[in-house]
């Protein structure tokens, strides 16, 4: 059976491989948001942190000639945005949504400004990262593409497991959750609420920055606004996944899957030249699916979402 001139198994394999690929920044963004929100700080700034990560990966990659350092730069720069978010929302007790908005606007402005000033006329390539494959599986003819990815993709998958373990099976995770659920009680038993929030926001921002770096790594360049709102989809995935790492990851896979379908339909349309698609198969309409699903989930038609109880509330000692 052929669809758009491609054998079905190849099509499925490539859709799944694309799913994993496009879900990666979403996964990392969602995990970053998870650390932040589990400690009680709302993070609508994932977008800004990712954008900062993407830009820093590019700049550091160009300056050092190695994208590996670019990844480090992305984590550090986004971590600094996290520090700003923590400073505003934990210390200054600014409304956390406003703080996040500030970071989003600033990240957009700063990355756009510096890119225009220094790189717009000649944009050097920051280099490339090697793809890493799982030894035997990646040699398969059709399904091998599922096991051959950029290092960041593997890092994202690894971090899903690590985050799950850290949040649910370590003292650090217990403290983080305590601070996010009932900071007063956590404070009473001697947990430093401010420190836990600062640390988790910065860790989360670093992870989101790594997710942003993936945009740069994937195409070996940067363009202003490259994240294109994916930070907000990561936030939606986090909520969809009920603030649990594995569920959030599955949610990002769902979102990635719709996007992969969208990409494949687009390729199919441009290959065949016909544009007589049924309404619900139009790329623009398929692309709306994640958002509709998120609204349905949030409205409680699928199941209640239960955020950390103290999320969004500044802690006053």
Point out which residues bind other proteins (CB under 8 A).
37, 42, 44, 88, 92-95, 97-99, 101-106, 108-110, 112-118, 120, 224, 229, 232, 235-236, 239, 282, 284-285, 287-288, 291-292, 294-295, 298-301, 305-314
Q: CA 111 to CA 210: how far, in whole Å?
A: 16
Q: How far is the CB of 280 from other proteins (least distance, A)?
A: 11
**What's the residue count for the chain?**
317
Q: How far is the CB of 95 from other proteins (least distance, A)?
A: 5
Is 2 or 306 the residue whose CB approaches other proteins more closely? 306
Is 5 or 121 the residue whose CB approaches other proteins more closely? 121
Q: Tokens in use for 258?
A: 């719709």
Is 6 or 87 the residue whose CB approaches other proteins more closely? 87
Q: CA 246 to CA 160: how far, in whole Å?
A: 6
Is 14 or 99 the residue whose CB approaches other proteins more closely? 99
Q: Tokens in use for 236?
A: 């939606």
Is 10 or 106 the residue whose CB approaches other proteins more closely? 106
Q: CA 100 to CA 257: how far, in whole Å?
A: 28
Q: Where are the alpha helices (DSSP H) in the chain?
A: 8-38, 46-64, 67-86, 96-118, 151-169, 171-181, 183-188, 193-219, 230-240, 245-272, 283-286, 289-298
Q: How far is the CB of 272 from other proteins (least distance, A)?
A: 18
Q: How far is the CB of 59 from other proteins (least distance, A)?
A: 13
Q: CA 110 to CA 112: how far, in whole Å?
A: 5
Q: How far is the CB of 291 from other proteins (least distance, A)?
A: 4
């Amino acid at each position: 059976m052929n669809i758009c001139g491609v054998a079905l198994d190849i099509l499925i394999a490539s859709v799944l491989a694309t799913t994993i690929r496009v879900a990666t920044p979403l996964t990392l963004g969602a995990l970053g948001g998870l650390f932040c929100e589990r400690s009680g700080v709302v993070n609508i700034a994932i977008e800004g942190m990712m954008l900062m990560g993407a830009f820093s990966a590019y700049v550091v990659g160009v300056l050092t000639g190695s994208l590996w350092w670019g990844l480090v730069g992305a984590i550090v720069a986004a971590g600094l945005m996290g520090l700003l978010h923590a400073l505003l929302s934990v210390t200054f007790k600014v409304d956390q949504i406003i703080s996040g908005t500030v970071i989003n606007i600033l990240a957009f402005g700063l990355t756009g400004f510096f890119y225009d000033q220094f790189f717009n006329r000649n944009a050097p390539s920051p280099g490339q990262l090697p793809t890493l494959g799982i030894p035997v599986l990646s040699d398969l003819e059709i399904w091998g593409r599922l096991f051959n990815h950029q290092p960041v993709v593997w890092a994202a998958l690894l971090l899903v497991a690590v985050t799950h373990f850290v949040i649910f099976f370590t003292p650090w995770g217990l403290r983080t959750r305590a601070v996010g659920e009932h900071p007063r009680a956590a404070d009473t038993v001697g947990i430093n609420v401010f420190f836990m929030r600062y640390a988790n926001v910065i860790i989360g921002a670093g992870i989101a920055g790594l997710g942003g770096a993936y945009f740069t790594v994937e195409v070996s360049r940067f363009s202003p606004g490259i994240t294109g709102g994916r930070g907000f989809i990561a936030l939606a995935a986090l909520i969809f996944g009920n603030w649990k790492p594995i569920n959030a990851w599955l949610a990002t896979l769902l979102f990635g899957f719709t996007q992969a379908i969208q990409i494949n339909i687009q390729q199919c349309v441009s290959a065949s030249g016909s544009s007589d698609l049924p309404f619900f198969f139009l790329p623009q309409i398929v692309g709306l699916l994640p958002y509709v699903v998120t609204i349905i989930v949030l409205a409680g038609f699928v199941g209640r979402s239960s955020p950390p109880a103290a999320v969004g509330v500044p802690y006053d000692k």
